[in-house]
A = this chain, B = another copy of it.
């Protein structure tokens, strides 16, 4: 390959390569890559894709590698395309409220850049300080504020991608989607590429929609609950009352304890679960909303529920939410679940998670974008304990089955990658799976782009 990649930033140091050969999905297999390339621009990507096609070398694109499903894991003999150096914000169009970026721009860096213009890029996965917009688009990342503001898909207007197949030779650069707020000129290929985990081509540029900056001080309502199920009922009651918080997050006791032991934020309360609601409606209407949410929490059986009047405390609560995953991971390898169920089934799903944990003797801590019905039970397995690992994996599959049984999905926002392929085959019908495979084969007939992921 080297002969075809001259002038490019090629990595073949085995240790570096190994680090670039997987994401953060625990226990997802990964193979041995032949090399990695760090392109600087679209033309570099075009050259790499053309070279890989010539030698039939699979291409595995990656951003920051913060994925939790193995979507960025190498297959044997693959070339890794590390897009983290393509991290330029190409333009911020304040008049049209859009930004155009290279895929390696970090989510929080985009947020900070547009904030300087009074604008806001809403999608906020917990990985926002590290994960890239390219990776966010590849997985259609969600986050905390999806309940009110939607997911990455809702912000992607247009893409530039390097593709092959029907578009022409591998290495063809195409522009999909648009720059306007509306547009229906042809099939929505930009939408199709969003969430496709790099299996149709390599995204080299992204135009996202922005929103006006939010009011400075959102209200935070906190409720402590005697059981997970009571917290789940409070979620259902909140949405039943027509309330639409910007975020509605759940942390169970195990999460709070793990954060507390690490960061000493003074948050542990002895309650089985905390619910955090953030409300960003401005003015007195926002106060009314906050009061109504606190009322819904109390009516559902909260031990206590109140609006946080202390901004520092409110920030600490959301910081605890964001720290839950790394805090829990300090205790050992963590397999993170990502089921999404209809909101009304959240109490039932939380019950089932407790039952599944008990059945397998697994240690499970749950954080959840509860308002979306999107639950992230984290299954802990002490390192080196093969029995615990097997129990964790059995619990993982059981939770997928439980979610499917409730009309839910095996992945709300992390993607199929490798870890959810079996679950996806249980969720979708054979006819729909056949359509998925056919679309993949059509757009990537050589199966070069991230082979084995999603439908592989």
Contact = CB atoms under 8 A, between A and B. Distances in A.
A167 B432 contact: yes
A213 B180 CA distance: 28
B180 A342 contact: yes
A454 B433 CA distance: 25
Given A242-B213, A435-B174, A435-B443, A184 B374 contact: no
Given A182-B413, A211-B244, A439-B442, A429 B174 contact: yes
Contacts of A184: 139-140, 195, 409, 411-416
A191 B140 CA distance: 13
B282 A343 contact: no
Contact of A284 (B188, B284, B373): B284
A135 B94 CA distance: 34
A440 B146 CA distance: 32
A372 to B, nearest CB: 5
A420 interface: yes
A182 B442 contact: no
Interface stretch (A10-18, A73-81, A150-158, A256-264): A150-158
A278 interface: no
Interface string A386-419: 0000000000000000000001111111111000
A437 B166 contact: yes
A54 interface: no
Interface string A65-107: 0000000000000000000000000000111111000000000
A422 to B, nearest CB: 12
A185 interface: yes
A166 B213 contact: no
Contact of A153 (B188, B189, B342, B372): B188
Copies in the complex: 2
Contact of A188 (B191, B239, B369): B191
A182 B340 contact: yes
B340 A181 contact: yes
Given A166-B435, A342-B93, A343-B96, A420 B185 contact: yes
Nearest to A240: B95
A411 to B, nearest CB: 5
A178 to B, nearest CB: 5
Contact of A187 (B147, B244, B439): B439
A213 B147 CA distance: 16
Contacts of A433: 186
A454 B186 contact: yes
A206 interface: no
Contact of A96 (B185, B342, B437): B342
Interface in A226-267: 236, 239-240, 242-244
Interface string A439-456: 111110000000000110
A318 to B, nearest CB: 19
B167 A431 contact: yes
A180 B431 contact: no
Contact of A427 (B185, B196, B416): B185
B186 A424 contact: yes
Contacts of A194: 188
Nearest to A409: B183
A71 to B, nearest CB: 10
B344 A412 contact: no
Nearest to A97: B239
* Most B C-beta atoms less than 10 A away, residue of A150, A176, A182, A412: A182
Nearest to A192: B192
A140 B184 CA distance: 7
Contact of A434 (B167, B180, B188): B167
23 contacts: A93-B342, A95-B240, A95-B344, A97-B343, A154-B154, A163-B435, A167-B435, A168-B434, A178-B409, A179-B408, A180-B412, A184-B416, A185-B410, A185-B416, A185-B420, A185-B427, A186-B428, A187-B195, A187-B440, A188-B191, A192-B439, A211-B244, A281-B281
Given A184-B195, A212-B243, 8 more contacts: A97-B343, A180-B409, A180-B412, A182-B409, A185-B427, A186-B416, A187-B192, A282-B285
Top 3 A-B pairs, shortest CB-CB distance: A166-B438, A212-B242, A95-B344
